[in-house]
C-alpha cells in the first residue's frame, strides 16, 4: 500500500476500501468516513458521493493515485434507505427474500435490529432487484 502525505503533515497510508456512513438529513444527505477525518454533505446521493471523493482526495493528497467512487463502501440505515427509495416496496422485498413482512417492517422502523445474517439477506435481496431492474430494456 502506498503512503500518502496528509495536508496537515501527518503521514498516512492509502486506505484502500473506505467505509462511508450515510445519513438522511433535512437538506439531503450527510456522510462521514469511519476511519478518516472526512465529512460531506449533499442534496442528492450523487452530489454526496462527489463531495466525499473530493474531501478524501484532499485528505490523502497524492496526484499519483487518486481516490474515486470505487474506493467507497456506502453504509446506510435501513430506515433512511427505504425513505430515500420509496419505490422499493418492503412487503414485496420481504416476500422475495422469504422474510415475514412484519419482521422486515420492524427492522426498517428501528423496532428491532437485524443480525448479520438477516442484514445480508436483506442487502442481497435489494441488490438482486437492482440488477434485475438494471437489465430491463424498453
Element holding 52 (H helix, E strand): helix 45-59
pLDDT digits (tens, 9 = 90+) for 55-89: 988 887 777 778 889 999 989 989 989 988 888 99
State residue 36's pLDDT score. 87
| Residue in the structure block whose three cell numbers are 446521493 | 45
pTM of the model: 0.70
State residue 6's pLDDT score. 43
Residue ranges, comma separated, of all CATH 1.10.260 domains in the chain are 78-134
Would you say residue 27 has pLDDT above 80? yes
State residue 13's pLDDT score. 56
Backbone dihedral angles phi then psi of residue 44, each to the nearest 5 degrees: -130, 165
State residue 66's pLDDT score. 85
What CA–CA distance (Å, rounded) separates 85 from 67?
27
Domain 78-134 sits in CATH at 1.10.260
Amino acid at each position: 500500500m502506498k503512503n500518502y502525505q496528509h495536508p496537515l503533515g501527518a503521514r498516512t497510508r492509502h486506505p484502500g476500501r473506505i467505509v462511508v456512513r450515510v445519513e438522511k438529513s433535512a437538506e439531503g444527505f450527510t456522510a462521514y468516513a469511519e476511519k478518516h477525518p472526512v465529512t460531506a454533505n449533499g442534496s442528492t446521493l450523487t452530489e454526496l458521493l462527489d463531495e466525499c471523493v473530493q474531501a478524501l482526495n484532499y485528505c490523502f493528497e497524492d496526484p499519483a493515485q487518486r481516490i474515486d467512487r470505487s474506493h467507497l463502501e456506502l453504509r446506510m440505515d435501513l430506515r433512511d434507505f427505504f425513505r430515500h427509495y420509496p419505490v422499493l416496496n418492503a412487503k414485496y422485498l420481504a416476500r422475495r427474500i422469504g422474510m415475514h413482512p412484519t419482521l422486515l417492517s420492524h427492522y426498517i422502523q428501528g423496532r428491532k435490529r437485524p443480525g448479520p445474517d438477516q442484514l445480508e439477506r436483506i442487502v442481497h435481496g435489494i441488490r438482486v432487484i437492482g440488477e434485475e431492474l438494471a437489465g430491463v430494456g424498453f
